[in-house]
Amino acid sequence: MTDTVKETSNSGTGVACRTASMTAKVAGFFSIVFLGLLVANFIGTSVIGLRRENQLTEMKIQLQAEGGSEEKLAEIRELDVQIRHDRLWRLAFARKSSFALLGSVVLFVIAGKLASVLGQQPPRPQHAPDVGAEQIGEARRSRWGVTAGMVVLAATMGAGIYFGGPPDFAQAKETGPSYASMEEKREQWHRFRGPGGGGISVFANIPMQWDGETGQGILWKTPVPLLGHNSPVVWKERIFLSGATEAKREVYCFDATSGKLLWTGDVPTTPAVAEAEMDVMEDTGYSASTLATDGRRVYAIFVTGDIAAFDFNGRRLWHKNLGIPDSAYGYASSLETYQDRVIIQYDQGDGTEGKSRLYALDGRSGQVVWQTPREEVPNSWTSPIIVDVEGKPQLITVTDPWTLGYNPEDGKEIWRAESVTGDVAPSPIYAGGLIMAVEPYSQMVAVRPTGQGDVTETHIAWRMEEGAPDICCPVGNDKYVYLLDGSGLLLCCDVTNGEIVYEHDLRDNFMASPSIAAGKLFLLSEEGVMYIAEVGPEYKEVGKCELGERCHASPAFVDGRIYIRGTEHLYCIGQATSEAAK
Amino acid sequence: MADRSDDVTRRRLLRDGLWGACLAGVGGVVGFAAQKGRKTDLLWQIDPYKCIACGNCATHCVLEDSAVKCMHVHAICGYCRICFGFFDPEPFELTEGAENQICPTGAIERKFVEDPYYEYNIDESLCNGCGKCVKTCNAFGNGSLFLQVQHDRCVNCNQCAIAAACPSQAFQRVPADNPYLLKSVDHA
Amino acid sequence: MLHVREIFVVLVAMLALSVVASGLERFPPPEFETDYVRPTTTVPHPRQDVWEYIDAGVLLAALGLAAYLVLRRRSRNATFVLMVFSLAYFGFFRKGCVCSIGAIQNIALTAFDPSYAVPITVVIFFALPLVFTLFFGRVFCGAVCPLGAIQDAVLIHPVKVPRWLENGLRSIAYLYLGAGVLLAATGCMFIICRYDPFVGFFRLGANWNLLVLGGCLLLIGLFVGRPYCRFLCPYGVILRQFSRLSRWRVSITPTECIQCRLCEDACPFGAIRKPTEKWPASEYKVAKRRLTCLLVLLPILVGAGGWAGHELRPWLAQAHPQVRLAQRIYLEENDPAAGTTDASDAFRATGRPNAELYAEAAQIRGRFAIGGALLGGFIGLVIGGKLLSLSVKRRRTDYEADPASCVACGRCYAYCPKEHERLTQKKTTAVAHG
C-alpha cells in the first residue's frame, strides 16, 4: 500500500482522501449522537426510574394508612406495570444503542485511518540540529521530570505518614468479658425482681418516705410512651422498659439521674403476626414480659413472640420471631440472662402437643446456643430464675406439673419434681436453700434443688396447702417466706417447715410482687400505695407512701433508689446523689 | 581496540546470562503455579448461607442485566399460602396485585397446588437480583430462596465487581467442574 | 374476614413443629395428597472447559504469526490485519478477560495464598507472551494484545510526546505494577482488572466511571499513540525489561542504516532513537560526577522508599475488606453516634467475637508492613534506576528502535529506503521467476 501511496500521492488520492475524511466526520458525528442517546437512557433509568419507584412506595404506604379503593389499586398496578415495562425497554434500548455506537465508532476509525494513511505526506526531516546538545538537553529535562514526579510522590507519602491512619483497632486489645459477672449483677436490678428473681435488694439505703402528690422524695417522673405491664430493669445509669400496642413494639431507655428518655428502640414483627390479628387480654397487654440485661446488651420479648436485642446506645443488634405463642392469657414470662446469653422460657399449648421449649440465644448474634424441648408442659406465665446451688448455677422453672432444674450452660435437665398444677403465674424463688413454687389459690411447695433426675419422692421439703396467690410471686429470706394475694391477704410462713406464722389482710388490691430491701417488706398496691413493714414474725407497718398513680409492675431497688412504673409514668424515688460511690 | 572487544564480549555475556535467568525465571513461575494442579477454570459463586441479601448484586454487576438471579430450591420450600418471599410484610390483601408483592419486577409466579399449598417459581428473565424476596424468606420463612450467580450470564471477570462490594464477603471462586453452590435441605 | 382466621389456624398448625434455628426450616415440608411432584432445581451450565484451551492455542498461534509477520515478512499490513483479528477475538469475542495483564495478579495471588490455585490456562496467558518477548521482542504488544490493539486502531493523527514527559509518565506503570502485585498477593482485590479501561467496551457495558476512564483514554489515543501501553500498562513494565534482552528484535532497516534520517518521525510511539554524538569533555566530567552521586543515592532511595512504604501500612491495609470491617466495628463500639453498615450487621449476625476479627485484621496489617516496605523499596529502586539510566551515555551509530519501547508494529519499515530496495528486489525476483 505504501508504494501506491508514493506513486499516486498527488492525483487520485486527493478524492479518496477527502471521501475518507468526510466519512470519518459523518461517522464521528453519528457516534456522538449514539453516545448521547446512551447517556440519556442512563440518566432516564437512574433519575426517572428512581422517582417512579419512590412514588410507588409512597402510594403503597398511603394504601396501608388510608385503605384502598378500586381506583387506587388500579393506579398502583398501572404504575408498577409502567416501571417494569420501562426497565425492560431501557435494557433493550441500551443494547441496541451500544451496538449502533460500536458500529459507528468502527466506521469512524476505519475511515479516519484511511484518511490519515491516504493523506500521509512523505517525511521531510528538518535541518539537523546539534544532535549531541539535543540529546544532552533531553536527558537533563527527563531527569528533572522524573525528579519532579518523585517529589510529588514523596510529598503524598509524607502526608500519608504524617496524618496517620484511621483509628487503630489494635488498641482494643483488652476489652474485657462480653458480659457482666454474677457479682456485678448482684448490685443492679438486671431482670424481673432483681438478681435471682427473688425480689431482694442488697442495699440498705433504700428510701422509705415519699409522697406522689407533693413530689416529696420523688427525684423525677417521666411519661412512658406506650403502655406495658413489664417492670423496670436497671443497669448502672440506665433504666429499661418496653411498651407495645397491636401495631408497635418499643423498648425505652431512661437516664437514671435525670429521667430523660435517652432512646426508643423499635422491634419489627413478621407478616404472620400482622395477619394473625392477635387478641390479647387487657390484663396481660402486648408487652407483659420484663426485659433482661447482661451488662452489655438489653433484651426484650413481646406477646407476639418477637424478641430483640439492643446495645446500651440504642442500636438494635438483632431481632427474631419465635413463632406466635399459643398462650391462653397471652405470653408473659420474663427473660433471664446467663453470661452473654438470653434465656427464654417459651411455654405454650396444652401440654399434649410438645410445643414448649427453653431457649438460650447468643446475645450478640441472636443465634440459638441451645434449646431444650419440654414435653408435657403446657402454657405458663412464670419466669425462669438462675440461682447458685452448692456453688454451681442452676436454671429453675416452674410449670404444671413440674418444677425443673437445668444446667444453664447446655440446657440439660438436672432434676424435676412434680409439684404444682393449673395456670401457674407466680415465679419461683430461692429462699432458705429451697425452691418455692406456688400453685394459685392452692398451695406452696418447697423443693430442695440438690437432687438428680425425678426427685418428687425425695426432695420435696414441705407443702403449705392453706391457699396461695394467683399472680404475685413470693418473697423470702432464710427465716420467713411471704405470700401476697391479689385481694391483699399477706401470709407469712416459716421457711423451714412451711407453717404459717401470721396472716394479715391489707384490704387493698395487689398485682405487683412484694420485695424485701433494707430489712423491710415493700408491698405495692394497684392504687400505687407502697406498704412498708418489718420483716419478722408479726406484721408491723413502718410506712405507707402514696404515689398517686395506678401500678401493675413490680418496683426495682438499687443503691439509694426505687424505680416504680405506673401505668403512665416511670418514677424515681430517692436523692440526687447516691450515698455509696459508684 | 582489544579493550573494546573485551568490553563487548563481557557485555554480551552479561546479557546472555540475564536472558537465561529471565527464561529460567518464567519457567520457574510456570512450574510453581502448575504444580498446584488446577486444570479447570475458576468461577464465581455466592455462598448462600453468608449472603445477607443487601441488594448490591443488582447494582454492581458489570452487566446491565445482572448475572445474579434468585433461585428456588423446592425441596426446602414450605409451600406456604402466605409466602414471606412473595408477599410484602404488610400486604393490603392476600391477592397477587402489584401492591401486595415484594418483588419489584413481578418475577415470582404463584401457582395453586392443593389446599393449603402453593408453588412458587422464579422467572429469570424478569428477576433483577435485588434479593428482597431472599431477605424476607430467610428471616421469616424456610430460606428456600437465595441469590446465585448464573453461569450462562456471568462473564467470569477476573475480579468480580460484586464480590468486591459484598458486605458479608460471600463470594468465592469454585472450580468449573463443580460450578454451583446451592442450598440443600440437610444444611445445619 | 374469614380467610384471616383460616390463615391463623393454618399458621399455628404449621408452627406446631417449628424449629427456630439460624435459617433452618420454620415450616415443615408439606405432605402432598395429590400426586404433585416437586420440581428439581435446574442450573445453566458454564462455558465449556475446552474453550479455555482453544484460547490458549489461539494465543500461541497469534504470537508465532506475529513474530513471523513483523520480523521475517516485515509487513505492516499483515501485522495490522492480525492486530484487528486479535482485537476481534481476544477483545470483543472473549470480552477481554482473562488477559495477560491481569494474569500477573493471579500469579501473585497463587504465590502467597495457599488456598488459591491458578488455572493452567491463566498461567499460559501470563508466560507465553513473556517467552516470546525474550526471543522476538514485544510482538505481543504489537499484534496480539487486545488493549494495545484497540488503542492502535483509534490512532488517527499521532502527536509527538516530549521525551521528558514520556519518561516521567512511564514511571506510573511501575507504580501500578507494584501496587497491583501487592494488592493481589495480600488478597485484597485485583486492581488491574478493576481499573481496566477498555474492558467496558469489549463487554459493551460497564459502570459509568470505567466507561468515562476508557473513553478518555481512547480520545487521548486518537492523538497520543497507545497511552495505556506506554504510561500505564503493568505487564508492559516486565515486557520492556525482557525485550531489552531479546534474541531477535525489530530493526528499522533490513540490512544497514545509511543515516538518511527519513525514519526520524516515523514512530507514533516515540521509540526510534537517533545515533549518539560525542559529548564535549566538560560534559563527561559533569556526567561522571552525577553518576557517582546517583549511585550513592540509589540505596538511599531504596531505603527511604522501603521505610515510607512500611510506615504507610495503615493506609495500605485499608485496601483489605477485613481490615476495613475491623475498623468499622471498632468505630461503632466506641462511638455511640455511629450507625451500622451492612457489613458490620452481617459480621455481628455471625456471632464471632470482636477479638477474633481484630486479630485477623492485625495479621493482615502485618503482611502489609512487609509488602508496603517491598513496594516502597521497589519504587525507590525504579526512580533511582531511571535517573541512573538517564545519566549514562549510550553509544549508537545507527537509527534504532529502542528495544524496550518498540511495540513491534512495523510502521517504521515503510520509511526506510533500504526496505524499499528490498521490496523492489523481491518483486523483480518474483517477476523473473514467475
How many domains would you assign to chain B?
1
B90 at A interface, C-beta within 8 A: yes
One-letter amino acid at C155 equals: L
Q: Which of A102, A113, A150 to mutate to test the interface with C (most CBs of C within 10 A)?
A: A150
Task: State the virtual CA torsion across A445, A448, A451, A455 in degrees, nearest 10.
Answer: -20
Q: How far is CA A564 from CA A195, A471, A530, in A?
A: 17, 18, 10
Cα separation of C403 and C244, whole Å? 5
Please count the other Cβ atoms lying within 10 Å of the Cβ belonging to residue B87.
Answer: 26
Q: C32-69 as b/e, with b when 16 or more CB fall inside 10 Å?
A: eeeeeeeeebeeeebeeeeebeebbebbeebbebbbbb
Mutation target for C interface from B109, B135, B158: give the one with most C CBs within 10 A: B158
* Candidates C26, C98, C193; nearest CB to B141: C26
A464 DSSP β-pair partners: A444
In DSSP terms, B120 is beta-bridged to B110
Question: Per-residue pLDDT for chain C (434 aa), expressed as one digit of tens each?
Answer: 434 444 434 444 343 333 333 344 567 788 888 888 888 888 888 877 788 889 999 999 999 999 999 999 999 999 999 999 999 999 999 888 878 999 999 999 999 988 888 888 899 999 999 999 999 999 999 999 999 999 999 898 899 999 889 988 998 999 999 999 999 999 999 999 989 999 988 888 777 788 889 999 999 999 999 999 999 999 999 999 999 999 999 999 999 999 888 888 889 999 999 888 888 888 888 888 999 999 999 999 999 999 999 988 888 898 999 999 999 988 888 777 778 888 998 998 887 888 889 889 989 999 999 999 999 999 999 999 999 988 888 888 889 999 999 999 999 998 999 999 999 998 898 888 86
Under 8 Å between Cβ of A319 and A308: yes
Residue B130, in any domain of the structure? yes
Q: What is the DSSP letter of A46?
A: I
Cβ of B65 within 8 Å of Cβ of A76? The answer is: no
Tell me which chain C residue has its CA closest to the CA of residue B19: C245
CA angle, corner A132, sides to A130 and A134, nearest 5?
A: 70
* Chain A touched by C156 (CB under 8 Å): yes
Q: How many residues does chain C have?
A: 434
* Per-residue confidence (pLDDT) for residue A176, from 0 to 100: 64
Instruction: Give the separation between CA C330 and CA A437, rounded to whole angstroms.
Output: 46
Q: Give which of B4, B7, B41 to mutate to test C binding, by max C Cβ within 10 Å.
A: B41
Whole-angstrom Cα distance, residue C118 to residue C114? 11
CA distance C229 to C243: 14
Question: Would you state the cell numbers that stand for residue A176, as one nine-digit string?
Answer: 474485657
In a domain, B6, yes or no: no
B31 in contact with A, Cβ within 8 Å: no
Question: How close A120 comes to chain C (CA, Å)?
Answer: 10
Contacts of B75 in chain C (CB under 8 A): 29, 38
Among A residues 238-297, those touching chain B with beta carbons less than 8 Å apart? 270-272, 274-275
Q: How crowded is residue C95: how many other Cβ atoms within 10 Å of its Cβ?
A: 19
Four-CA torsion A8, A14, A17, A23, nearest 10 degrees: -150
In chain B, residues with a C-beta closer than 8 Å to the C-beta of C97 are 155-158
Burial A3-41 (b: 16+ CB within 10 A, else e): eeeeeeeeeebeeebeebbebbeebbebbeebbebbeeb
Residue B71, amino acid = M
In angstroms, what separates the C-alpha of A460 from chain C's closest C-alpha? 34
Say if CB A508 and CB A498 are below 8 A apart. Answer: no
CA distances to A359, A527, A567, B172, C227 from A487, rounded to whole Å, are 34, 12, 19, 66, 92
Point out the residue among A59, A94, A271 whose CB comes nearest to the CB of B84.
Answer: A271
The answer to whether C304 and C285 have CB atoms below 8 angstroms apart is: no
Q: Which residues contact B11 (CB under 8 A, 6 or more apart)?
A: none
Please report residues of B whose CB lies closer than 8 A to that of C111. 32-33
pLDDT score, position A20? 86
- Does B99 contact A271 at a Cβ distance shorter than 8 Å? no
Contact B98 A64 (CB under 8 A): no
pLDDT reported for residue B187: 61
User: Is residue B15 a part of any domain in this protein?
Assistant: no
| Span B15-33, average pLDDT | 92
Asked if residue B97 belongs to a domain, the reply is: yes
Would you say residue B182 lies in a domain? no
Residues of chain A with pLDDT under 70: 1-13, 167, 170-176, 577-582
The domain spans of chain C are 51-276+409-433, 281-391
pLDDT, tens digit, 9 for 90 and up, residues A386-415: 999 988 999 999 998 889 999 999 999 999
State the Cα angle at C103 between C102 and C108, rounded to 5°: 105
Q: Give which of A284, A509, A300, B142 is closest to C20, Cα–Cα.
A: B142
Asked, for residue B183, whether it belongs to a domain, the answer is no
Which C positions 88-147 lie with beta carbon below 8 A of chain A? Answer: none
Q: How far apart are CA A49 and CA A52, in angstroms?
A: 5
Domain that holds residue B54: 43-175
**C119 to chain A, closest Cα gap in Å:** 32
- The contacts of residue C298 (CB under 8 Å, 6+ apart) are C381, C384, C385, C388
